[in-house]
A and B are shown apart, each in its own frame.
Chain A
């Protein structure tokens, strides 16, 4: 027997569906195309940056190359960056991504903290009494890199300070207009295992990377690019938010 709250939720979701139908008519097709285009434009850089990170992570002696590559022996805290929309105009997207995140970490013995991006994610997580340590909402429709980089930096800092021993990114990946899937990606520590969808830009075959020649110096270049490229990974994930608000 559903209680009053569930009934209210149900009524709201039905209303939402009606609203989506109307919204679809209202939102011009070109606007949607533009958002997708923006995503397609920013994706190559992030994908390439991720590839370079993977190659660095596959280097011999990787554990000592950079703190972000070092695996912690004991995982005491998990940090999840959850990306949702600000408004619930698009049916189940927000619910799906939140449910996906909760499922993934439901059995976790380790305490899980969340950084939520988007009002919907924040509200749903708080209602489920999850530990939300930071939230970003009302980002502009087409966020610039500067708008978003703070999110990634926060995650990197939490990892470095020891506040988190593992960092995951949960977002909705864009496959096509009709298909978007909830996706989870392990951001930190950087690992060499594959698992996520390999980008369409990837070259055909590649063996494990041999040792790099670093210019100007190994320390300098790793300190510059490893944190920056990691922070960057939240960028394309965010471009999509536009789509489902």
Chain B
């Protein structure tokens, strides 16, 4: 019996579907949630959330948020979330560089900007990490290295 899983970010519905297990980056550790889990409410850390359904895995980056678990339903309310498949590596890389340079450039004008840039850096690092591990590039990479070694 699968469990229903819905992931929403503040600006859109990211995913909805059935899952056999959901692995989420909970505040006090990574947790795997199976159908008929006891009701649970937890905050989420920056991290990767995995939805496995009939042997197929989908991965999502989660930039913090909240997860609510009911026996038949998992609701993820993420501050920002995206499917790893949708990540544009070039853009994430550029965003990371921008944020890094900004933070290197010296004391920021005000705390808000500083926090925003820090969050941007954290987010792009997470994106790049996720894309490296689970994105399309991750599957292509070993072949590429293999070819180069020859």
Binding site for B on A (CB under 8 A): 41-42, 44-45, 48-49, 51-52, 55-56, 145, 201, 203, 206, 209-216, 220-221, 224-225
Task: Indicate whether B75 reaches chain A with its CB closer than 8 angstroms.
Answer: yes
Which of chain A's residues have a CB closer than 8 A to the CB of B43? 215-216, 220-221, 224-225
Task: Indicate whether B88 reaches chain A with its CB closer than 8 angstroms.
Answer: no
Which of chain B's residues have a CB closer than 8 A to the CB of A56? 41
Secondary structure at chain B's binding surface: helix, strand, loop or mixed? strand
Interface size on B, residues (CB 8 A): 25
A63 CA / B150 CA spacing, docked (Å): 69
Task: Indicate whether B9 reaches chain A with its CB closer than 8 angstroms.
Answer: yes
Contact present for B9 and A45 (CB under 8 Å):
yes
If A212-B40, A214-B42, A215-B40 touch, whether A201 touches B6 (CB-CB below 8 Å) is: yes
Task: Indicate whether B127 reaches chain A with its CB closer than 8 angstroms.
Answer: no
Cβ-defined partner of A51 (8 Å) among B26, B27, B39, B75: B75
Contact present for A45 and B8 (CB under 8 Å):
yes
Which of chain B's residues have a CB closer than 8 A to the CB of A206? 70, 72-73
Contact present for A42 and B42 (CB under 8 Å):
no
A158 CA / B27 CA spacing, docked (Å): 31
Contact present for B28 and A215 (CB under 8 Å):
yes
Secondary structure at chain A's binding surface: helix, strand, loop or mixed? helix
Task: Indicate whether B12 reaches chain A with its CB closer than 8 angstroms.
Answer: yes
Cβ-defined partner of A203 (8 Å) among B4, B8, B12, B26: B4
Which of chain B's residues have a CB closer than 8 A to the CB of A44? 8, 12-13
Contact present for A216 and B27 (CB under 8 Å):
yes
Which of chain B's residues have a CB closer than 8 A to the CB of A55? 39, 68, 70
Cβ-defined partner of A52 (8 Å) among B27, B72, B75: B75
Task: Indicate whether B148 reaches chain A with its CB closer than 8 angstroms.
Answer: no
A145 CA / B70 CA spacing, docked (Å): 28
Q: Mark B23-35 against chain A: 1 for CB-CB distance below 8 A, else 0.
A: 0001110000000
Task: Indicate whether B77 reaches chain A with its CB closer than 8 angstroms.
Answer: yes
Contact present for A215 and B41 (CB under 8 Å):
yes
Please give me the residue from chain A that is nearest to B27 by CB atom: A216
Contact present for A209 and B13 (CB under 8 Å):
no
Which of chain A's residues have a CB closer than 8 A to the CB of B38? 210, 213
Q: List 19 A-B contacts (CB under 8 A).
A: A42-B10, A42-B12, A44-B12, A45-B8, A48-B75, A48-B77, A52-B77, A55-B68, A203-B4, A203-B73, A212-B39, A212-B40, A213-B38, A214-B41, A216-B27, A216-B42, A216-B43, A220-B43, A225-B43
Contact present for B42 and A215 (CB under 8 Å):
yes
Most central of B12, B16, B38 by chain A CB within 10 Å: B12
Which of chain B's residues have a CB closer than 8 A to the CB of A49? 77
Nearest CB of B to A221, in Å: 6
Cβ-defined partner of B27 (8 Å) among A48, A203, A215: A215
Task: Indicate whether B101 reaches chain A with its CB closer than 8 angstroms.
Answer: no
Having A41-B11, A214-B40, one finds 19 other A-B pairs with CB under 8 Å, namely A41-B13, A44-B8, A48-B8, A51-B75, A52-B41, A52-B75, A55-B39, A201-B13, A203-B72, A203-B73, A206-B72, A206-B73, A210-B38, A212-B41, A215-B26, A215-B27, A215-B28, A215-B41, A221-B66
Which of chain B's residues have a CB closer than 8 A to the CB of A214? 40-42
Contact present for B28 and A216 (CB under 8 Å):
yes
